Amino acid sequence: MKVQLNQSPLKLLSHEFIEIHLKANLEEDNGGGAVAVERDVNKIENQERTWSVILQVKLQASEEGPPPTYTGGVTIAGMFEVIEGYQFDPERLIRVTAA
């Protein structure tokens, strides 16, 4: 049986890894740590359906527990387009789906 998939209302136009920085903790007992995520979402001026998203993922020490196995982070930038005719809140779509 064939299943017809619906077209996604979001199209990735481009992406770029801006920074990748990881450092292994080889000195101590480790295995702890925390992940922090930050995102910046902006509508592109004069382009009604185009948005930019910058996503930062940080590996860092947590307040409790052993030191992290790795510290560092990754920063990724992407450009997204919401399809024409999308009837719901495009910013919410970008914030939930793209990031």
Q: Which residue has the higher pLDDT, 4 or 51?
A: 51
Q: What are phi and psi of 27, to 5 degrees?
A: -90, -30
Which residue, among 61, 59, 58, 53, has the nearest Cα to 93 in the 3D structure?
53
Q: Which helix (H) or strand (E) holds 92?
A: helix 90-93
* pTM for this predicted structure: 0.80
Going from N- to C-terminal start, the domains of the chain cover: 10-98
Span 10-29, pLDDT tens digits: 999 999 999 999 999 887 77
Instruction: Map 55-76 to HEC letters.
Output: EEEEEECCCCCCCECEEEEEEE
- Note the pLDDT of residue 18: 98
